[in-house]
Amino acid sequence: MARVIGILTAGGDSPGLNAAIRGVGKAGMNAYGMHIIGFRDGFRGLMENRTIRLDSGALSGILTVGGTILGTSRDKPHKMPIGGREMDMTEAMVDNYEKHHLDALVCLGGGGTQKNAYQLAKQGLNIVTLPKTIDNDVAMTDVTFGFDTALTIATEAIDRLHSTAHSHHRIIVVEVMGHNTGWLALGAGIAGGADVILVPEIPYDVEKVADAILRRSRAGKRFSIVAVSEGAMSREVAKALRTAAEACANAKDKAQKKKARDKLHAIESERLGSTSQLTQQLEALTGLESRVTILGHVQRGGIPSPADRLLASRLGTACADLVHRGVFGVMVAVRGEGTEPVPLEEVVGKRKTVPLDHPWIETARNLGVSLGDQ
């Protein structure tokens, strides 16, 4: 009897999702005679039993399309907003899995999706996941699909900003996405020729950033490009976060824990406008006109790059093969030009940050790029 696979996409949208859906579906049908069912809007669609049949017609023409034909959401199985309150809807999802006689559920998403999928796996569901995010921060995989496209878009934006920075002799501060990791800002900053790159892994000293810009100015270079990860923070903020996190961990009762958490959330909220604040600080410290550009969600949109289409297709076909072989409870990780199943318990609760000895860090420093710490 042919296997039946369910597929859902969860978390933020990302270039390459449709290519991955197509890879799983076409390989499943063509190589193994499987039937494919898509669940709309992530785990909510699984809970509400909203489906679409992913036959050859549904999978045709989607390779180059951005976003996801299934839709997505950030709803969690155990904290689903229902009627104005959060409820654990895991049981309903298990029921719908069984109702469709699924042999496996494939979940495409980032770190949060891996965690939610693992919770379903612990309920006895046969789960396989694929690592998707423009942030490239999913643990235990060389790279995630979506990253290459976002890196290309961010680099092109920095390329375009060079001309206006040069023409007006300005400091242009460019905020790049990436959540709490610096892969995207670091890669785009190097590729786009940024003069300063600020990432979460290296808390910055704003005066050192200003000094680096002033050294350029004194050398006759009349503009500077500063690439900033959205999660970048000053040394002062980093210290405050560590102190608040330690207070939260060491709290002896609920009142102390609530106070510590409130403090932690307040500091995190303050970080949301840190790029604009940094821009104002640099203008005051250097006397140079400064402007900020926040790239935002444009980095997640549009046609996926050839590299992401290829990667997502590779992961999708490898996923179908794992389902055929009965390998479950794993994420399909990228290893060089190949793939490898990694147990989900080794993935969840971890984040792949930029190591301080990573070759990209060394490259930036050798190019004379300021990382805000020296």
Catalytic residues: 135
User: Token digits for 287?
Assistant: 């006397």
Provide the 3-class DSSP secondary structure of residue 64.
coil
Evaluate the CA torsion angle 324, 330, 333, 337 in order and state its sign: negative
Provide the 3-class DSSP secondary structure of residue 76.
strand
The C-alpha atoms of residue 51 and residue 89 are separated, in whole angstroms, by 17
End-to-end CA distance of the chain: 64
Residues in a beta bridge with 172: 225, 291
- Residues in the chain, overall count: 374
Distance of CA 352 to the CA centre of its chain: 10
Determine how many CB atoms are found less than 10 A away from the CB of residue 66: 17
Tell me the H-state helices in the chain: 17-32, 42-48, 56-59, 90-99, 111-121, 147-168, 183-191, 206-218, 235-250, 254-271, 274-286, 306-325, 359-366
Contact 182, 358 (CB under 8 A): no
Determine how many CB atoms are found less than 10 A away from the CB of residue 336: 7
CA-closest candidate to residue 330, choices 84, 56, 121, 42: 121
The C-alpha atoms of residue 159 and residue 168 are separated, in whole angstroms, by 15
